[in-house]
Amino acid sequence: MFKRGDHAVVHRFATACRAGSAGAIRSLLAADVVAVSDGGGRVAAATVPVRGAAQVARCLTELVRPGTAPSVEAVNGEPGVVLRTLDGAVVAVLSLKVAGPKVVTVWIVLNPDKLRHWRSRE
């Protein structure tokens, strides 16, 4: 369950993603952070978990390209980050596990079939 401070971490994370700064993103990640992504075989995604703050920050920086706008929204009932193109199309949904002031796990959904729910909200 998220605590009040966790919400602040998610908002700082979204702000760092919006800036596109690997350093800013990395500063919010635990040293042993793990990112797991799912492209469903339909879009490019890492096939194994990405581990470590520098590698996860690099992965996220590549995901949040110019023309992508991150916003904090409810993801599975908790605050997460939704990446949309400037015309509002959802390209990814990020669910975060937070421990203290750091993000310890990032789940990235890129699979178009799994994003169908998000696209129906556009």
Q: Which domain, by its residues, includes 95?
A: 4-119
| Domain containing residue 73: CATH number | 3.10.450.50
pLDDT in tens, 68-86: 899 999 898 888 999 998 8
Q: How many domains does the chain have?
A: 1
Q: Which tens digit of pLDDT belongs to each residue from 29-54?
A: 999 999 998 866 666 667 789 999 99
DSSP 8-class letter at 12: H
